[in-house]
Structure 1
């Protein structure tokens, strides 16, 4: 999101921008390297080793691809923090910004789909037989990709049109990027609505598991998946969207105090940087999903072995 203008109404943000030139590198470098390693490893595990396309593995594969899409622009983002880009790179910058936000909001909606899928499977087991299937999961993932591509790409592309000067990519969007209609849609449909769905489904699922009184290994693994998904959603995205709301109030003239505007500028930039940690937090989900699939395979083999043993005994 556009972070700060160097000067706004005689209020200087040079100290904040100078600080962020170093902080962004410190935050982004480990996120990029760890996130790249974990997400590539996750794709290898899901696609090559597990080879069992359940609803969970389909959602997590899509989430790993979203995370990689979010990671791809980070080196360019780090470069743009310390270097002005020539005017002719505006279109390329818009593509990178689009990929970045597609990765963010695609991850948000994919995590929401995972939460809904879990809720249906555990809280409505009879309906789940009709509603849940690998094909339905694949359709949901394709729908998420289509939604974020259609909503974000045309929007982001228009933010830099008409500028004839050198610019910092990923910074200082035009006033069009802070229009009330856009920010309201972003906050409501980009974060608040998915957040309410994720929280509701997660709490309902945890409550159902506890009410059932199950203490099996699979039940405990399911609870861990729910908590990890909830953490991967709320920890990165809540501060960043709060920062977007505060910066919107600055652009609308609601907040005019220079010191407050400076602190908000610093907060939104740090929050947006840390929001990328979702690429690493999602690895918690990958681990538990992989563990669950392995457990399912193991249980299936054990049941088959017991069935064969029973059949052999009955034949004797």
Structure 2
């Protein structure tokens, strides 16, 4: 993609969901488009044109967004590391649902670890200060882990669906080996879908603004449209349909058992409550982002007109979506009774080991003095 003097391209700091799905949202804050679908300056623009759609004063974005992203990153790293420690270091083996939730925590952890690079990118006015390799890797990792997160939720939804709706066959289907193989498949699928990000994301210099953008370099509008439609379909529409179907069936099964006065195993009930809370949090945090992304595709293809309201909503929905990576560990602690028990047992074991270690050191020091 090149720039010339006959066409004036402008940074679009509020319009965030063009060339990439979630990950690269921040890079697309300052997206640079190909000639066929770029926003250009012209003398006969109406109020739906660029001057109406793009706020001139972006200082608020550069001031507030980087600290917010850094806070999300720090909290996300601390909370998700804690979750992984509880799941991985506890002496008791994880259940099928816990295997999926631990992988979800791993995906959230990888995502928030890459966000500080984009916080710095935003702080510098969308001038990428790092290498092209970091531009590619961080973008691909964020995309991959955002993609994997929703499919781990799909897996855990299916697990609860089988356990409650088809309890007679769940022992045969819900095996730890199958859960681990399912997680490997999801990670592999995420890697495949992240390859275009790694291949096409490049550093592009904008001479008009004297800025270097980390941008997804799709030359033709057909590429852009195909990429966005594929992304929206497989990272939002398909998984959300599966999640909603399983959730409705799970709730119906729980109501039926309660109405028939059937006993529900406490473990199943606790796990289901936690998973429903995590699913609800995901839908609340991510659905607004994906809906505005669909509207953005319609806008870029000319079906909808550009409007400042959509741009502002896109901005808010993006940063709200990031918060999901912090919210999940909080839900584990507040809602997950089994997780609370695991955490207490792990803390007690750690405290016991520390006490024993201190006691041994004290004994040695006493012996040395004697």
Q: Same fold (TM over 0.5)?
A: yes
Higher relative contact order (CA 8 A, sep 6+): 1
**C-alpha displacement of 1:272:** 1.5
CA RMSD of aligned residues (A): 2.8
Asked if the contact 1:105/1:190 (under 8 Å) is kept, the reply is yes
> CA distance change for structure 1 residues 56 and 290 in 2, over 3 Å: closer, same or farther?
farther
Asked if the contact 1:206/1:223 (under 8 Å) is kept, the reply is no
- Alignment-derived partner of residue 307 in structure 1: none
Query: Larger % of helix: which?
Result: 1
Runs (5+) with no aligned partner, structure 1: 299-316
Counterpart check, 1:25 vs 2:56: no
> CA distance change for structure 1 residues 283 and 246 in 2, over 3 Å: closer, same or farther?
same
Asked if the contact 1:106/1:144 (under 8 Å) is kept, the reply is yes
> CA distance change for structure 1 residues 162 and 37 in 2, over 3 Å: closer, same or farther?
closer
Counterpart check, 1:291 vs 2:333: no
Aligned equivalents of 1:176, 1:267: Cα separation in 2: 27
Highest CA radius of gyration, 1 or 2? 2
Aligned equivalents of 1:146, 1:226: Cα separation in 2: 24
**C-alpha displacement of 1:267:** 2.1
Counterpart check, 1:256 vs 2:305: yes
Please, which moves more after superposition, 130-139 or 278-287? 278-287
Aligned equivalents of 2:277, 2:189: Cα separation in 1: 25
- Alignment-derived partner of residue 8 in structure 1: 39
**C-alpha displacement of 1:164:** 4.4
Counterpart check, 1:105 vs 2:131: no
Aligned equivalents of 2:319, 2:213: Cα separation in 1: 16
For this pair of structures, how many residues does the alignment match? 290
Aligned equivalents of 1:162, 1:78: Cα separation in 2: 17
**C-alpha displacement of 1:112:** 0.8
**C-alpha displacement of 1:8:** 2.5
Give the 5 Å matches for 1:1-316.
1=25, 2-5=28-31, 8-10=39-41, 11-12=50-51, 13-15=54-56, 17-49=58-90, 51-83=92-124, 84-85=127-128, 89-152=131-194, 154-161=195-202, 163-165=204-206, 166-169=211-214, 174=218, 179-213=224-258, 214=263, 217-218=266-267, 220-257=269-306, 260=307, 262-284=308-330, 286-287=332-333, 288-289=335-336, 291=338, 294=341
Asked if the contact 2:156/2:275 (under 8 Å) is kept, the reply is no
> CA distance change for structure 1 residues 232 and 73 in 2, over 3 Å: closer, same or farther?
same
Runs of 4+ in structure 1 over 6 Å off: none
- Alignment-derived partner of residue 314 in structure 1: none
Aligned equivalents of 2:31, 2:281: Cα separation in 1: 31
Match of 1:163, SS?
A: strand
The TM-score normalised by the length of structure 1 is 0.81
Match of 2:305, SS?
A: coil
CA-to-aligned-CA distance 1:227-269 (integer Å, 9 cap, x gap): 2122232012111111211222232223334xx0x33232222
